[in-house]
Amino acid sequence: MKKRSLILLVVFIAVFAASSSASAASKSIYSTSKARIATILELTIAQQGQSELRFGDIRPSAIDSTEVGPMQMAVAVQCNSGTQYQVSQAISGGLVNANGTQMPAGNLKFTSSPTKTTGTGVGTLTPMTGSSQIIFISDANGTSDTVLTDYYLTVPPNQEPGDYSANITYTVSAV
């Protein structure tokens, strides 16, 4: 019996010693965690493969102007800054054919509207000009959105035939 008591006493002492060391004061160290999230303010053509406005083959009237359209361009804006932004467009000049014959930029008109937010587009049919034109202003929070711009082309009577083109540049910037 003494052997058993002695074994129990040794086990008790071992358990007591282990629990005493577990409740000893612990030490903590601190580390600072940092992450830098880049500001995003960028735009892309939202419809894959669409990088041109193609009005197709137009057969103008010999008497009256011919209206063609709408042709739609969807420009997606990604923004995480929480601040308002605007989207503008600029046309390189009038639409020109291979012979150098030009249709004035104002023959190309547009309207624009957002698809997701309460941002502001251009609700009335507006002629393109040679200078930059704002086509969209985001909501106050700068929420990401897609801007749909509808383009209409007016072809004057007896316009010289040919393939006419001009470049349109879209720009997004903080307000």
- State the average pLDDT over residues 57-77: 90
Percentage of residues in the chain having pLDDT higher than 70: 85
106/93 Cα distance (integer angstroms): 9
* Topology of the domain covering 41-174: Immunoglobulin-like (2.60.40)
Domain extents in the chain: 41-174
* CA pair distance 27, 154, nearest whole angstrom: 79
- Residue at 132: amino acid letter: S
Report whether 67 contacts 153 (CB < 8 A). yes
Kindly list the distances between the CA atom of residue 19 and the CA atoms of 5, 13, 119, 158, in Å, as whole numbers in the listed order: 21, 10, 65, 100
Which has the higher per-residue pLDDT, 137 or 7? 137
For the stretch 6-54, pLDDT in tens is: 444 444 444 445 555 555 688 999 999 999 999 999 999 877 666 788 8
Rounded to two decimals, what is the model's pTM?
A: 0.78
